[in-house]
Amino acid sequence: KNNSELEEIKALEEQYESISADVSSFDELPLSERTRQGLRDHEFTTPTDIQREAVRLALQGHDVLGAAKTGSGKTLAFLIPMLELLYRRRWTRVDGLGALIITPTRELAYQIFAVLGNIGQQHDFSAGLIIGGKDLKFERKRMDQVNIIVCTPGRLLQHMDENPLFSADSLQMLILDEADRCLDMGFAKAMNAIIGNLPTERQTLLFSATQTKSVRDLCRLSLKEPVYVSVHEKA
């Protein structure tokens, strides 16, 4: 099984540079069998525009700055490449935190967590929701065993500051969802502090419906030579 997994990963990686920009089905993308099955089981067949663009660029290893309105399918646009990255790195429970997803509100965090549970079902990663309003002690105990965290900025910062079990040293991917709303809600300081605490050797995907000056500042702080993807004009 280990060998066939390595072979699968190698075969996927060989296809990344030649992914077509106009795939019409998830089947045409070089995705792991586990992710494919997660998508199939939840009846996702055709990628949306932002998914087509962001998944291709993220698989190729780029940092991505994505602009797309609500309802365009941004959740899968970041969850798919995130799952693929951890799978490729053969991430396991003992490897610690591999991916961090920051979103402005509890409801959005819940939604992302639910979609992750669906399309990530066949993978072996552990995931945690860090959103406040729950028992901090309970969240705390499990922090050192979690591979993927979905969180709101304030609560995550609280863990970073106060929880000795929390470590982001092994982080592979940072995802900033609805970055403009995070900033509008007064999380700029928390976001800066969080990003300042993360390893710089990582891939970052940032999504924002609008490109304000404060979003551009956040991009400068968090992204390296990002590829800009916008799907506003189409629709």
Is position 155 an interface residue for Mg ion (rule: CB under 5 A)? Answer: no
Among residue numbers 30 through 59, which ones bind ligand ADP (CB under 6 A)? 44, 46-48, 51
Where does this chain touch ligand ADP (CB under 6 A) — which range of 5-13, 74-82, 123-131, 137-145? 74-82
- Give the Cα separation of 233 and 41 in Å (integer): 31
Is position 234 an interface residue for ligand ADP (rule: CB under 6 A)? Answer: no
User: Measured from the CB atom, is 74 or 159 closer to Mg ion?
Assistant: 74
User: Measured from the CB atom, is 31 or 143 closer to ligand ADP?
Assistant: 31
CB 44 within 8 A of CB 77: no
Is position 75 an interface residue for ligand ADP (rule: CB under 6 A)? Answer: yes
Contact partner at residue 47 from Mg ion, ligand ADP, none, CB < 5 to 8 Å by partner kind: ligand ADP
- Give the Cα separation of 34 and 43 in Å (integer): 14
Contacts for 155-160: CB closer than 8 Å, 24+ residues apart:
155/130, 155/131, 156/100, 156/102, 156/130, 156/190, 156/194, 157/190, 157/193, 157/194, 158/132, 159/130, 160/193, 160/194, 160/197
Interface residues toward ligand ADP, by CB under 6 A: 44, 46-48, 51, 68, 70-76
